[in-house]
Structure 1
Amino acid sequence: MDSILRLLMGPWTTYILWVLSDSGPQRFGALKRAVPGISTRMLSERLRMLQAAEVIWRDQTQTIPPAVTYGLTERGDDLRQVLESLGEIAQRWQAEGAFKASQTAAE
């Protein structure tokens, strides 16, 4: 279990997976817009890492510019229920004010 948690702990990783899980396959630009605040470099790094772990797939068409699309593999799809559960918990906790202390500390 530690190995999978280490994979998911990277910055933006769960958010990227959640977007792909919720919205289906996405082109790079659409994915970048769906994850506000992430840099192009960080998104590329996270996508390469997830692809290497066989959690996402990458499809590139030879157009100008190249069209690159990412989606969840079967392994990534295994995480769908976990991501949905985490999202539900996060929404409930947010409604309960659980994140106010961490938001205040960050400001």
Structure 2
Amino acid sequence: MPVPKRRNYDAVPACTIEAALNLINGRWKGVILYHLLQDGTTRFNALQRRCPGSTARLLAKQLRELEEDGFINRTVYAVVPPKVEYSLTEEGRSIAPILMQLCDWGRGWLDRRHLTTLADDPVERVA
């Protein structure tokens, strides 16, 4: 059974890596941060397209947590239909070097195994 994320910031983590990983822990958080870093301000549906396999509910939950933790800004426009945009805060941009190193490491790991990602696949996929 997975361990629930600790949202109590008064609890002292055992080490700094635990503190850092607790903030970005979540199936889509790293992907969301990476795409906001690459694409800039982005709407919900565009983020959902970048996270194939994610449900709207899970993505919204992860976005809320990233907002609570100060990594992203959520801007709501009073229009019909509703328009919501997400962008990185200074705190969110501060993790960019780590995300880029993780991206490079992931690319190397895939290359060593002769694997590709969906983004690398040149074959058109039928929706």
**Same topology, TM > 0.5:** yes
1:71 aligns with 2:87: yes
**Pair 1:30 & 2:43 matched:** no
- Aligned equivalent of 2:9: none
User: CA offsets per residue over residues 36-68 of structure 1, 9 Å max, x none?
Assistant: 111000000000000000100000100001110
Specify the SS of the correspondent of 1:11.
coil
1:19 and 2:25 matched: no
Gaps of 5+ in 2: 1-15, 116-127
Q: Hey, what does 2:105 align to over in structure 1?
A: 89
Question: TM-score, length-normalised on structure 2?
Answer: 0.74
Q: Return the structure number with greater relative CO, CA threshold 8 A, min gap 6.
A: 1
Larger helix fraction of residues: 1
- Output the CA distance in 2 between the equivalents of 1:98 and 1:54: 37
Give unpaired runs (5+ residues) of structure 1: 100-107
1:76 partner letter: G
Q: Which runs of 4+ in 1 moved over 6 A?
A: none
Distance 2:62 2:69 in 1: 11
Question: In structure 1, the residue corresponding to 2:59 is in which secondary structure?
Answer: helix
In structure 1, C-alpha distance between the alignment counterparts of 2:95 and 2:88, rounded to whole Å = 9
CA distance in 2, matches of 1:66, 1:55: 22
Paired-residue identity, %: 33
Write the letter of the residue equivalent to 1:26: T
Query: Which of the two has higher C-alpha Rg?
Result: 2
State the alpha-carbon separation in 2 of the partners of residues 24 and 46 from structure 1.
Answer: 18
Partner-residue secondary structure (3-state), 1:36: coil
